[in-house]
Every structure is written in structure tokens, then in C-alpha cells.
Chain A
Amino acid sequence: MQHSIPSAELGPRGQAMADAVSSCVHCGFCLPACPTYQVLGEEMDSPRGRIFLMKDVLEDRLPLEQALPYVDRCLGCLGCEPACPSGVQYGDLITSFRAHSERKRSRTFFDRLMRQVVLQTLPYTARFRWAARLGKLASFTSPLLPHRLSNMLAMLPAQLPPSEQLPEVTPAIGPRRARVALLAGCAQQVLAPQINRAAIELLSRNGVEVVVPQAQGCCGALAAHTGADRLAMEAARKNLRAFPGDINAVVTTAAGCGSGMHEYPLWLKGTQEEAQAHALASMTKDVCVFLAELGPVGFAPLADPLRVAYHDACHLAHGQGVREQPRQLLQMIGNLELVEVPDREFCCGSAGTYNLEQPEVATELGERKAAAIVSTEAQAVATGNIGCMVQIENHLADAGRCLPVKHTIEWLADSCLDGHGSE
């Protein structure tokens, strides 16, 4: 598509934005893959519609404020990318555009406050724990709070698990086959510390030494996807420094974090660290990908047959192209019958902080996802992202189905044999 975006004036990411617009041919193949278009049925809320809007804003033909409601409604699920025959790098465009527009947009006081609360707490384990406790305390006032805030509180679990410190080094059990560094993540570590614990245990039983660099921080994805590019760059730089070089891979357990680390080269485009960012990104692997490549030692069968639905987290399937490895691994567990969810590549509506910012669409998508899972008659759910887990569990509960929803790695760890063939 032709455009007259002044890419040179738009900073280091101007070219990425211009390239994405340029490769869009407006064919509409993205429409059926876009959850917001499917829910809202209007062109502004479709990938190609947003591309048009962003193009017009960048070309200075449309005031930013008018385009923002629709750009903001994008989940960032990247479902459009694999659907796009002409290869539009939509993620590069929307992330860069959000960063670009953040500096120009005006937000209400409440908006700014919410944003700061989210950006300054969620990515920091200690702060988040503290805020979550406080939030739960305050929840009796929730009818008085603005909808978005009460929505946020509603998502918090009734009780947080106790704080956990991950060991800096966990040796391999048996002969060492590899050495990896684990990204601990932030919100996940507070809400579900058992996931990383499971990952470490699983990896070590598979002969992998696991390092958890203590200097690491949040991956920065949350900041990047909400337009806080400076925070994102800071986070990326911190992790560039924190992760050692003498490892076989950086392993991530949350889809969003893994996808975020793969974006480091984009965030640090045109900076001194760009090359380093490429190097780190190329080493970063979802734990399932790493394990599938390594070849797991084996799994014990479940005691009883169980139908388990696998949900594709967007930032695994679309963000990192990881679809088959988690399925392959789960299918190695005897008695576990893996079932596919209809419209499996559709976002569940969690999408980072989307739940907080666009509760109506998020709820609709959550309900659809829950209904799709229920239709499979699954008895449990496996997925690779903490956000999806919370969203799906809540919506299944609302639909009257309290199914266990566990991270793929938890299913695997629960059945894992060690290098000596014992559980």
C-alpha cells in the first residue's frame, strides 16, 4: 500500500512502521483472525483498519486522538500475523506506534494514575505482592471504585501464595546435558510461583543445570505493549546485563515474556545494544521448545485417563510460532488425551493488561474461549501463559465449570521421571 509516512522523522523505528504499512495490501485476510473484529464487527477494529488509521496519523492526515480508541482496542495478540499472506509485521507496527503515540497523547488524570499503578507495580515482584494484598484489603470498597479498577481487583486471587525465592543455581540431576538461564518473570512469580518451580525441577530432572540470574528484572513486555518504550528499553538493558553468556539458552515460562524478549532488537533498534539484543533474543526459547529440542527423558502416565484441552497462548503461537512442541510434550504423558479447542488460535482476552483497559471486549472473548473449551468436554486445561490461565479459569468458573487450569510445564513436571527413570 502506498503511503507518505515521513519515516526518517519518526526515529529509529520509523522504518519498521513504514515497512509494515507498505507491505499491507488491504486484502482483509486478517479479519477472521482478529478477535476484536469478530466481536465488534467494524473495520476500525480490524488489523487492516488499524493499519489505515496508524498510517493516516503518521502521515498527519488524521488527529492521533481520534485514532487512539481503536488502536487502544487492539489486543496485541498478533493473530493477524500468521494470517497475513503479504507478511505485514503488524506487531512491529503497533508496538512502535504505541511508543510513538504515548509521547503525544493526553490522558486523563485517572488514566495516568491507573497506568502508573500498573507500570510501577506489576513488573516488580515485591511491589506487586504488596499492591495485591492492599488491593484485596480494599476490595470491600470495590462497588465505589471505577469499573476498571474493580475489575482489576476481581482478578486477583483470594489468597496469594507465599513468597518464594528461586535458587540461583539448580544442578542437573544425573549427567549434565545443558545449562540454561531462567527468566523468572514478575506477575507470574507472585501469582503462581509453582510454575517456575516446576520448570526448574523438570529441567534439572532432564539433566539441565538451571541458573536464575539474580540481577534480572521484568522482561519489559508490559511496558512496551502499552507504549512505555523508555521503561521497556530500561528493562531490556537490565536483562542484557543480567543474563550470562555461557549458557545454552535463556528459558522463559510465560509466553508474554518470551515474546517480549524476542522483541528486544526492535525496542533497542538504532542503539548501541541492538546487536547484543539480537544475540539474546536468538538464545531465548520457551521452556517447551527447549525441552522438545533436548528430548525429554520420559513421563509417567497419569493414574486415570484425562481429557486435557490445550489452549494456544497468543504470544506463544503467534508471537513465537510455538504450536507443536507443547502438544508433542503433553502427548508423551500416558493417559492424557489432548483435545483441540475450536478456533484454537483465537485470543482468550487476557492479553496483558487488556483485561483492565478493555473489560467488555476481554469479557466477551473470555466467555467465547470458555464456551469453546467446554464444547470439547475437556476435564482440564493446559496452556503456556499465566495471563491466559487466570482468564480461562475465571471464565470457566463463570460458566459453571471449575476445571483445573495448569501451565503446560506443571503437567509435564507432575509426570516427569528423572534421568534414572524414576519419578
Chain B
Amino acid sequence: MHEVSKTSIVSVCKLGSRTPRPSGLHTFEPPSHFWVDAVEIPAASASTPSDLSRLAPLVDQLRQRFPTDRLLTQPAQLAPYESDGLTAFRVHPGGVVLVQDASEVVTVVRLCHEHGVPFVARGSGTSLSGGSLPVAGGLVIALNRMNRVLDYQPRSQTIVVEPGVVNQQVSRHVAQDGLYYAPDPSSGPVCTIGGNVAFNSGGAHCLKYGMTANHVLGIKAVFPDGELVELGGRSHETAGADLAGMFVGSEGLFGIALEIVLRLLPLPERFHTVLAAYDSLEKAGDAVASVVASGLLPGAMEIMDKLAIEASEQAVHAGYPTGAAAALIVELEGPEEEVAAEIPRLDAIMQASGAYELRVAKSAADRMNIWKGRKGAFSAVGRLSPDYIVQDGVVPRSRLGEALAEVQRLSARYGLRVANVFHAGDGNLHPLILYDGRIEGQLHQAELLAGEILRMCIRLGGSITGEHGVGVEKLEFLPEMYGEAEMELMNRVRQTIDPQELANRGKLLLSASDVGKQSHAPHPLESAGVISRA
């Protein structure tokens, strides 16, 4: 139930009136300084928070510059912006501004800075770590309409794009010249380059081609205080510190990228895509190890387990081996002759690996279908369970087997099903923890399980995130991966760039004021009342 308060444009929840809290949620501390949607909060605690009082004058300023259809303040306009690809968290933003060019972004950022209002940049809202979760009482700067290609130099193999350009559109744009943009996150048809840059997105081809940072050559950005900065350039090479590289993956904390120069590669001449079925995950894992030991360098190696195969097959009908304990996709790519020479080597490995079924993509359409099945796998798991948590840990490749066995053990211990999809080539696990939020306590159990998986990744010498970023979701685990000195250094860097913590507050690093308040449950930001669970 929303009302529009007289003093502020922010919609306010009629507190304590309705919204039966779904069972299985954490108990919340009353928020001290933010208005929060979807949570039962004692009315007394909803006193005018400071961010809200700053928001109203900012919105007044914005009204003079933006037409009403690009400055969203009505509850129904804001509700769809409450979440991104991680629906476990929802925050009602104070407003959304739909910007159309770089100068508008700069104007908005400068006004936010002037008024001390936090802002969150958002592209297509596909983050799986809550990377574009709004800040209560803050502004969402929606960049999806900034989707122009500003310059394209096929001979230099570079393209300059605005942040709202969709990942796959880049490859579509340059395909006529036999080029492509290598990073291919599963959400490629949807996610934007701006988001890819902020979170250093990966994809299925990272072992061979690296992540987004490896394909970003230059960035024009606006710092959270409105200063403009240009980093890198149009050369594939750098001279001097790789500042563009440092900007990539900063999860929006360094401001907003306005123009991005991307490196393009010649499209491989031939692909050879094999889909193998195994009666155990171990055999699939061993096959990957054998491929690596052989000296081959496939473009991609992907494994899916039984549950993931089932879900994906229901969604895409790509002809995955339902009933198999594991499916392995291996893809060779390169010049015709080279791939032809590598095929028998791969064949021999696959034959010896104990695969009970081997399928080779017969056409480009067949290959696309195999990939569509893999790339839709996360969402397809929505068919198996009303809720799930996607994890994104990395372990050294040689310890994949160990890690998977541990995941299975944890799954049994917690009594929760876990589907596994992973980029086997680079040790990037994506356990999908299935739970039903309507069952009392299951969300909490699922989160505990997810936490144990992340800690295992740290223990095995890996990382808590391979490509989704820390976001809101893994905020409390970053200090477990890095030591105190490293965390302090990161915080200090952030302070020099954004002392007010206006840019994407609540992601990657805890607020300076929240450091020390960490606990494992509830989420520290939840305790602080900054975020809430839907």
C-alpha cells in the first residue's frame, strides 16, 4: 500500500498495515536511517531519514531538466526497478532517471554529488549478485537507452559504444566484417556493456580469451564527484599504468562509464562443438583434465550435472542427454586446417574418457542450440524450484572433483538440491541451490549452504566470484578472501574517489560506517536496514 507523502516524492509504505511477512525470512533490526519496502517495520522507526530529505530537492532540480516520462517517481514506475537478476533482495529507489546521453549522466551525477544523494547505475538489470540493487532514497540512473555505437573501426578492430549497448549487439554490429566481441556472459542477449564493465563479466571462453577487462581498451567515465576522466585509449596495447583495466570490475564504485572502447577479434573460421554424456560427474571432470593435459586449448569447456541438464532440456530442447549424470561441452575453434588437425586428438581423449554418448554439432544452428541450452540453464532451473541461489565460486581446475564432491556432501547435509553448471575450463563453479522460500527457514539454510561453498572455494585457493561480482550478495565474504590490509586498501581507494560513498553504495565494500558490523546472518546491510528481502 503506497501513498505519496506531501513533503517528499518518495512513496511511503503504510507501515505495519499489511504485507504478511513470508515465513523463512530473517528477523530484521529496525532500520535506523532508511525507508525500506516490503519489510514490516515499526512505524516509529520510519522517521524522516536524511537521504530522503536530500532527495526531494534533488528531484526538484531534476524536474527542471528532465521530462516527466524520463524522471520516474511514481510507485508503479519504481517497483519494477526494485530488483535486478537477484530477486532475494528488493529496495525501493527514490527515483529513476532515464538518461539518453553522456552529458545527462554527468548532469545527474553532479547533482547527486551536490545534494549528497546516492545513485546506482543500471543497464538491463541482469546482475546475479545484486549489483544494480537500488539504494533506498537514492536515484537509479537507467542507462539502457544510451545504446548507440559511437565509432567503429573494423580495420583497427575497435568499437566505441555507450554503456547501454547490449553485449550481443556488439557482435551483431561487427559480424559483417568477420569480427566479434569475445566476452559472452550467458545473459549476452540482454546484459549491457556498461554492466559488463562494472562487474568484469566473464562467460564461457575465459580460459582462452579472458574476461571483460581483457577486452576493454579505453573508458571515458564520470567520477562520483562529477569529474570526467579518460582512461586507456583505442590501441590494443597500453603504455603506462593500465588504468582502464583498474576501472573494470570496480562494481560502479568508481563512477559511471560513459564511453567504452572494446577490442574486437576475427571470428574463428571453424567451430567444432562436442556434447558428451557421462554416467558420473567425475568422468566428465577427468575428461577436462585430460583435454588440458593434452596441450589442446579449447575455446570452451562446460559441464552440467543431471539437474541442470533436465532443466535446460525442458527449456530449450537442445537434445541434451537427459538422464546423464553429467554433460560436457568442449569447443575447438580456429582456422579450418588447425581445427581439422585437433579433432582426432580431441576424439581420442573423449573416446577414452568413458563418455557413453558423443554428439558433434552438425551445423551452426545445431551449435547455437547447444549453447542456448547451456546459457539458459540458470533461468531454466526456475522450472525445478520456486527459488534458487546461484553461486559463482572458482577453484583451481585440478580441484574441481574435490569441490564437486564437497558440494554434493553439503547438499545432502542441508537437505537441499543443488544443480551444478560450470565453466570447467577455468574452474568456475555455478552451484544453483534450490529452495522454497515459502518453507520456514529454507532460505536461511540455502544461504548457509551457499556460504559454505564460498568458504570452500577460498580454502581451495580460489575465488568467491569468477564473473558475477561481489555485489550485495557476497559482501560479507570478500573480507574472508582477502586479509585486513587488503580490505583496508580497497576501502581507502574508494574513499579517495568517493568519500561520500554515493556511487553504488552497498556493493562490493561495506560502508565505512558499517565496517566491523559484519556477521553471517542476517546480511550486514539487512541489519542496517539498507536492503530487504522480497
- Determine if chain A interacts with chain B: yes
A residues whose Cβ falls under 8 Å from a Cβ of B: 1-2, 4, 22-29, 31-32, 41-44, 46, 48-50, 52-53, 56, 59-63, 66-67, 69-70, 84-88
CA distance A23 to B388 in the complex (A): 11
Instruction: Given A44-B77, A61-B1, output 18 extra A-B contacts at Cβ < 8 Å.
Output: A1-B87, A23-B386, A25-B378, A26-B85, A27-B379, A28-B191, A41-B144, A41-B145, A43-B81, A44-B76, A46-B80, A60-B18, A61-B2, A61-B18, A62-B75, A66-B75, A86-B381, A86-B382
Q: Contacts A23-B386, A26-B85, A29-B376 given: A85-B80 contact, CB under 8 Å?
A: no
Question: Which residues of B in the span 67-101 have a Cβ within 8 Å of any Cβ on A?
Answer: 72, 74-77, 79-85, 87, 96, 98
Check A62 against B18 for contact (C-beta < 8 Å): no
**Which of A2, A23, A28, A41 meets B125, CB within 8 Å?**
A28
Chain B residues closer than 8 Å to A1, beta-carbon distance: 87, 386-387, 534
CA distance A60 to B191 in the complex (A): 31
Chain A residues closer than 8 Å to B312, beta-carbon distance: 85
Q: Say if the beta carbon of B124 comes within 8 Å of chain A.
A: yes
In the complex, the chain B residue whose C-beta lies closest to that of A44 is B80
Tell me how far the C-beta of A96 lies from the nearest C-beta in chain B, rounded to whole angstroms: 19
Chain A residues closer than 8 Å to B125, beta-carbon distance: 28, 43
CA distance A26 to B83 in the complex (A): 8
Q: Say if the beta carbon of B163 comes within 8 Å of chain A.
A: no
CA distance A52 to B376 in the complex (A): 21
CA distance A234 to B166 in the complex (A): 45
In the complex, the chain A residue whose C-beta lies closest to that of B18 is A60
CA distance A43 to B126 in the complex (A): 12
Check A85 against B2 for contact (C-beta < 8 Å): no
Check A29 against B379 for contact (C-beta < 8 Å): yes
Check B85 against A27 for contact (C-beta < 8 Å): yes
CA distance A62 to B125 in the complex (A): 22
Tell me how far the C-beta of A135 lies from the nearest C-beta in chain B, rounded to whole angstroms: 32
Tell me how far the C-beta of A239 lies from the nearest C-beta in chain B, rounded to whole angstroms: 32
Could you write out 11 A-B pairs with CB less than 8 Å apart?
A1-B87, A1-B386, A4-B19, A22-B386, A28-B191, A29-B379, A41-B144, A61-B19, A66-B2, A86-B381, A88-B382
In the complex, the chain B residue whose C-beta lies closest to that of A48 is B80
Q: Hey, what's the 0/1 contact readout for B180-202 against A, CB within 8 Å counting as 1? A: 00000001011100000000000
CA distance A73 to B443 in the complex (A): 35
In the complex, the chain A residue whose C-beta lies closest to that of B13 is A61
Check A41 against B98 for contact (C-beta < 8 Å): yes
B residues whose Cβ falls under 8 Å from a Cβ of A: 1-2, 18-20, 22, 38, 72, 74-77, 79-85, 87, 96, 98, 124-126, 142, 144-145, 166, 187, 189-191, 312, 314-316, 376-383, 386-388, 437-438, 534
Tell me how far the C-beta of B194 lies from the nearest C-beta in chain A, rounded to whole angstroms: 14
In the complex, the chain B residue whose C-beta lies closest to that of A19 is B386
CA distance A280 to B162 in the complex (A): 51
CA distance A271 to B166 in the complex (A): 46
Tell me how far the C-beta of B387 lies from the nearest C-beta in chain A, rounded to whole angstroms: 6
Chain A residues closer than 8 Å to B79, beta-carbon distance: 44, 52-53, 56, 62
Tell me how far the C-beta of A236 lies from the nearest C-beta in chain B, rounded to whole angstroms: 29
In the complex, the chain A residue whose C-beta lies closest to that of B14 is A61
Chain B residues closer than 8 Å to A22, beta-carbon distance: 386
In the complex, the chain B residue whose C-beta lies closest to that of A59 is B19
CA distance A4 to B85 in the complex (A): 19
In the complex, the chain B residue whose C-beta lies closest to that of A2 is B437
CA distance A88 to B387 in the complex (A): 14
CA distance A86 to B315 in the complex (A): 7
The 3 closest A-B pairs by CB, nearest first: A86-B382, A49-B80, A85-B379
- Chain B CB count within 10 A is highest, among A43, A62, A87, for A43
CA distance A28 to B2 in the complex (A): 26
- Total residue contacts A-B, CB cutoff 8 A: 129
Q: Contacts A23-B383, A23-B386 given: A28-B187 contact, CB under 8 Å?
A: yes
CA distance A62 to B96 in the complex (A): 18
Chain A residues closer than 8 Å to B77, beta-carbon distance: 42, 44
In the complex, the chain B residue whose C-beta lies closest to that of A6 is B20
**Which of A32, A42, A63 meets B142, CB within 8 Å?**
A42
- Chain A CB count within 10 A is highest, among B18, B80, B166, for B80
Check B534 against A2 for contact (C-beta < 8 Å): yes
CA distance A52 to B80 in the complex (A): 6
CA distance A52 to B437 in the complex (A): 17
**Which of B74, B82, B383, B387 meets A2, CB within 8 Å?**
B387
In the complex, the chain B residue whose C-beta lies closest to that of A66 is B76
Check A26 against B84 for contact (C-beta < 8 Å): yes
Chain A residues closer than 8 Å to B19, beta-carbon distance: 4, 59, 61
Chain A residues closer than 8 Å to B76, beta-carbon distance: 44, 53, 62, 66-67, 69-70
Check B124 against A28 for contact (C-beta < 8 Å): yes
CA distance A60 to B13 in the complex (A): 12
CA distance A181 to B509 in the complex (A): 66
CA distance A53 to B85 in the complex (A): 16
Q: Contacts A85-B315, A86-B380, A87-B382 given: A52-B82 contact, CB under 8 Å?
A: yes
In the complex, the chain B residue whose C-beta lies closest to that of A60 is B18
Check B378 against A27 for contact (C-beta < 8 Å): yes
Q: Contacts A44-B80, A52-B80, A70-B76 given: A29-B189 contact, CB under 8 Å?
A: yes
In the complex, the chain B residue whose C-beta lies closest to that of A63 is B2
Tell me how far the C-beta of A50 lies from the nearest C-beta in chain B, rounded to whole angstroms: 8
Check A84 against B379 for contact (C-beta < 8 Å): yes
Chain B residues closer than 8 Å to A44, beta-carbon distance: 72, 76-77, 79-80
CA distance A56 to B1 in the complex (A): 9
Chain A residues closer than 8 Å to B377, beta-carbon distance: 85
Check B80 against A31 for contact (C-beta < 8 Å): no
**Which of A41, A52, A62 meets B2, CB within 8 Å?**
A62
Chain B residues closer than 8 Å to A87, beta-carbon distance: 314-315, 380, 382-383
Chain A residues closer than 8 Å to B187, beta-carbon distance: 27-29
CA distance A196 to B506 in the complex (A): 62
Tell me how far the C-beta of B196 lies from the nearest C-beta in chain A, rounded to whole angstroms: 14
Check B386 against A66 for contact (C-beta < 8 Å): no
Tell me how far the C-beta of B479 lies from the nearest C-beta in chain A, rounded to whole angstroms: 28
Chain A residues closer than 8 Å to B142, beta-carbon distance: 41-43
CA distance A269 to B187 in the complex (A): 36
CA distance A43 to B388 in the complex (A): 23
CA distance A59 to B90 in the complex (A): 15
Tell me how far the C-beta of B362 lies from the nearest C-beta in chain A, rounded to whole angstroms: 18
CA distance A24 to B144 in the complex (A): 21
Tell me how far the C-beta of B326 lies from the nearest C-beta in chain A, rounded to whole angstroms: 20
CA distance A56 to B79 in the complex (A): 8
Tell me how far the C-beta of A92 lies from the nearest C-beta in chain B, rounded to whole angstroms: 15
Check A32 against B190 for contact (C-beta < 8 Å): yes
Chain A residues closer than 8 Å to B1, beta-carbon distance: 60-61, 63
Check A23 against B144 for contact (C-beta < 8 Å): no
Chain A residues closer than 8 Å to B189, beta-carbon distance: 29, 32
CA distance A276 to B65 in the complex (A): 58
Chain A residues closer than 8 Å to B191, beta-carbon distance: 28
Chain B residues closer than 8 Å to A25, beta-carbon distance: 85, 87, 378-379, 381-382, 388
CA distance A49 to B38 in the complex (A): 17
In the complex, the chain A residue whose C-beta lies closest to that of B20 is A4
Chain A residues closer than 8 Å to B85, beta-carbon distance: 25-28
In the complex, the chain A residue whose C-beta lies closest to that of B122 is A43
CA distance A59 to B22 in the complex (A): 12
Chain A residues closer than 8 Å to B18, beta-carbon distance: 60-61
Tell me how far the C-beta of A343 lies from the nearest C-beta in chain B, rounded to whole angstroms: 11
Tell me how far the C-beta of A322 lies from the nearest C-beta in chain B, rounded to whole angstroms: 16
Check B190 against A26 for contact (C-beta < 8 Å): no
Q: Contacts A28-B125, A43-B125, A53-B76 given: A85-B98 contact, CB under 8 Å?
A: no
Chain B residues closer than 8 Å to A26, beta-carbon distance: 83-85, 87
- Chain B CB count within 10 A is highest, among A23, A31, A85, for A85
Tell me how far the C-beta of B329 lies from the nearest C-beta in chain A, rounded to whole angstroms: 17
